[in-house]
A = this chain, B = another copy of it.
Amino acid sequence: MEMWLKEAQIEDAVMTYKVKETLVRKKTEYQDLAILDTNFFGRMLVLDGIVQTTIKDEFVYHEMITHIPLFTHPNPKKVLVVGGGDGGAIREILKHPSVEKAVLCEIDEAVVIECKKYLPEISCALDDPRCEVFIGDGIKYVHEHKNEFDVIIVDSTDPFGAAEGLFGGSFYKEISECLTDDGIFVAQTETPFYLPDVVKKVFNDAKETFAITKLFMAAIPTYPGGYWSFTIGSKKYDPENANLDTTVEFDTKYYTKKIHKSSFALPKYVEDLITK
């Protein structure tokens, strides 16, 4: 028997992955959760039929969503991740020696439980003493914590269904209040090739709140189009012109100082999206 996961990138372009084994498949309170094993990509987390992360290429997303803001901030001590129940962002955050506390606020406890069980390479830092895992609504959590975090990372699923409230102007205002006076916000903000209107709206929403708002890109093979946008909003430090001279050294597979700066160079069609 051959099993293939079919993932529609758009209606008429469907990516398919041959599945060796379904390690877990369950309806959680919030979504359809599966962890599948594949030959080339290894194990992958799939939520509502969409590939979230794979052992083979997770490093791109997790390095870029964390190291860009954390190397921009001169001394990040407290970091909040909204979503990101797989733990990959937390693992990267805790490589920064300045970080004293990293809070993971994930709405769906099942994601944390299953990723701890089946994706230990990604979830390995969730038991670190500097990490606090809070199961609950990110919007509520952000609303109830003011002036507390140096960096807030929104590591969410797509802006449809459960994560819809994590995209848009009112949430970004709450995030700004949850940040310290020189805090930095970053979010995954989808594909400019397939969803240009989403990128445009989210960027303009963030721009209304943050003094410095920029878009940066990373090449993620298992995400539709292979080229993903992140929106970063900063109160004080310009992430594109961050001082990286004193950057601590640790092993990476995607991020470098040169990649940090160059990820803000946008293809003309992406630049036009957010400036026109």
**A253 contacts across to B, CB distance below 8 A:** 267-269
Chain B residue with the shortest CB-CB distance to A192: B219
Provide the bound-state CA to CA distance between A260 and B263, in Å. Answer: 12
Provide the bound-state CA to CA distance between A13 and B258, in Å. Answer: 31
Asked if B219 and A267 sit within 8 Å, CB to CB, the answer is yes
One of B12, B60, B221, B266 near A40 (C-beta < 8 A)? B12
Write the A35-71 contact mask toward B (1 if CB under 8 angstroms, else 0): 0001111000000000000000101100000000000
Write the A255-276 contact mask toward B (1 if CB under 8 angstroms, else 0): 1101101110111110100000
Write the A207-218 contact mask toward B (1 if CB under 8 angstroms, else 0): 000000000010
Chain B residue with the shortest CB-CB distance to A19: B12
One of B16, B38, B217 near A16 (C-beta < 8 A)? B16
Provide the bound-state CA to CA distance between A158 and B75, in Å. Answer: 47
Chain B residue with the shortest CB-CB distance to A59: B269
Q: Which of A239-253 contact B (CB under 8 A)?
A: 252-253
Q: Which of A192-236 contact B (CB under 8 A)?
A: 193-194, 217, 219-221, 223, 225-227
Query: Within 8 Å of chain B (Cβ to Cβ): is A254?
Result: yes
One of B38, B41, B267 near A60 (C-beta < 8 A)? B267
**A223 contacts across to B, CB distance below 8 A:** 226
Count of chain A residues near B, Cβ 8 A? 43
Provide the bound-state CA to CA distance between A267 and B263, in Å. Answer: 10
Asked if A265 and B269 sit within 8 Å, CB to CB, the answer is no
Query: Within 8 Å of chain B (Cβ to Cβ): is A18?
Result: yes
**A24 contacts across to B, CB distance below 8 A:** none
Provided the pairs A13-B16, A57-B193 are in contact, do residues A254 and B226 lie with their beta carbons within 8 angstroms?
Answer: no
Query: Within 8 Å of chain B (Cβ to Cβ): is A14?
Result: yes
A224 to chain B, nearest CB (A): 8
A192 to chain B, nearest CB (A): 10
**A259 contacts across to B, CB distance below 8 A:** 265-268
Query: Within 8 Å of chain B (Cβ to Cβ): is A113?
Result: no
Given A13-B38, A219-B226, A254-B267, 19 more pairs with CB closer than 8 A: A10-B40, A12-B38, A13-B15, A13-B17, A13-B40, A14-B16, A14-B18, A219-B227, A220-B226, A221-B225, A221-B227, A252-B268, A253-B268, A254-B268, A255-B267, A255-B268, A258-B265, A259-B266, A259-B267
